[in-house]
Amino acid sequence: MTDPSPSAVNRFRHEALFYSGSAEFVNGTVPFVREGVASGEPVLVVESPEKIKTLRAALERDADQVFFADMSEVGANPARIIPAWCDFVNRHWVPGKSLRGIGEPIWSSRGADELVECQRHESLLNVAFGRGRPWSLLCPYDTATLRPEVIDEARRSHEFIVEGGSARRSENFRGIDASAAAFSAPLASAPPPLDEVTFEKGDLRRVRELVRKRAVAAGLDESRAYTLAVATNEVATNSILHGGGSGTLRIWQDVDRVICEVRDRGVFDLPLVDREAPGPDPSSPRGLWLANQLCDLVQIRTFHEATVVRLHMRLDPRANLSLVTDVESTEATMILPP
């Protein structure tokens, strides 16, 4: 069953575009953008530089009316993508007018941990926008390079599917409430830790210093080791305040990164708290938000009687293209054209 075009709906419309090859990508995205431009809708495309170049050429003069941003920067840490879309919607939405965007956060060379967090991001988009302002988001998926199980998950995280030139509702869409459910996907097994300690109130200075020393010993430079220590401090503080007053810290080195894991007895039941910029009130939740601004990847899981947060920092600083240096800023990481 086909479904109306984005211009015919008055709520958030989340679509997965299944394409194979450059021609199908262009055929699936250019009409979507042109329809928005013709309707006077703000349009933002968050894609790879190569696909941005392709779209600019195909759109010709219409490209001048479109915002573009590099997904490898905006979405280096997938948890930063929703804040960027929030920034776009808040800046450009006006009553009676819709917006539209294209975002492709999943590609074949994403690491296993990043892929799972991108899939979680796609599901959380429904929570962030599903009951809010009307706008349309098209998420391309390259069926020629992505595994079948990745495409299957896209059918569950998107209410609409675009395939073969037609749109239809996904029979497998999990819905908004299920998208907000506690996330308990398995975490990769960890090697023997460089260190493991328990902590409680009064131990945060010791936690920061331990992380900094172990991170430097593993190969991080002093600046990034300090940054990882600050992020771990924020998560450990959450454990003390909301996780039963104590927690366990583990640190280890993976192939290309240092990972800190904080485990406590709390329950993580605010699915967007790590993606919502803190408000001006000093009591506003900010620890997990800051961790995502500082680290290359943050994984949050709720298991039986435990919450686990893993903070990843790559050994190669050049890999962290979208590091936010002003951690007190509430601006999204996307920089839009004037």
Q: Residue 3: helix, strand or coil by DSSP?
A: coil
What are residue 132's phi and psi, to 5 degrees? -115, -140
Does this model's pTM top 0.95? My answer is no
- In the chain, where does the domain assigned CATH 3.30.565.10 lie? 195-319
Residues in the chain: 338
Amino acid at 276: E
The structure tokens listed for 241 are: 């305040």
- Supply the pLDDT for residue 279: 82
Pick the CATH number of 195-319 from 3.20.20.70, 3.30.565.10, 3.40.1190.10, 3.40.710.10: 3.30.565.10
The pLDDT value given to residue 284 = 73
Q: Phi first, then psi: what are they for 308, rounded to 5°?
A: -125, 135
The helices-and-strands tally (H runs, E runs) of the chain is 10, 12
Q: Contact at 8 Å (CB) between 13 and 138?
A: no
SS3 298: strand
Sole residue written with tokens 């990769």: 188
Whole-number pLDDT of residue 337: 32
- Which run of H or E residues covers position 264? strand 257-264
Q: What is the per-residue DSSP string for 98-153?
A: --EEEE----TTS-HHHHHHHHHHHHHHHHHHTTSS--EEEEEEETTTS-HHHHHH
pLDDT in tens, the chain (338 residues): 445 555 555 799 999 999 999 999 999 999 999 999 999 999 999 999 999 999 999 999 999 999 999 999 999 999 999 999 999 999 999 988 899 999 999 999 999 999 999 999 999 999 999 999 999 999 999 999 999 999 999 999 999 999 999 999 999 999 999 999 989 999 999 999 999 999 999 999 999 999 999 999 999 999 999 999 999 999 999 999 999 999 999 999 998 999 999 999 998 889 999 999 888 887 777 899 999 999 999 999 999 889 999 999 999 866 544 333 333 332 333 323 32
142 dihedral zone (left: phi>0; alpha: psi -120 to 50; beta): beta
Strands, E, within 287-329: which ranges? 297-303, 306-314
Check residue 6 and give its pLDDT. Answer: 52
Count Cα neighbours of 314 within 13 Å in the Cβ-side half-sphere. Answer: 15
Q: Is 91 exposed, middle or buried (CB count within 10 Å of its CB: 0-12, 13-18, 19+)?
A: middle
6-179: what fold?
Rossmann fold (3.40.50)
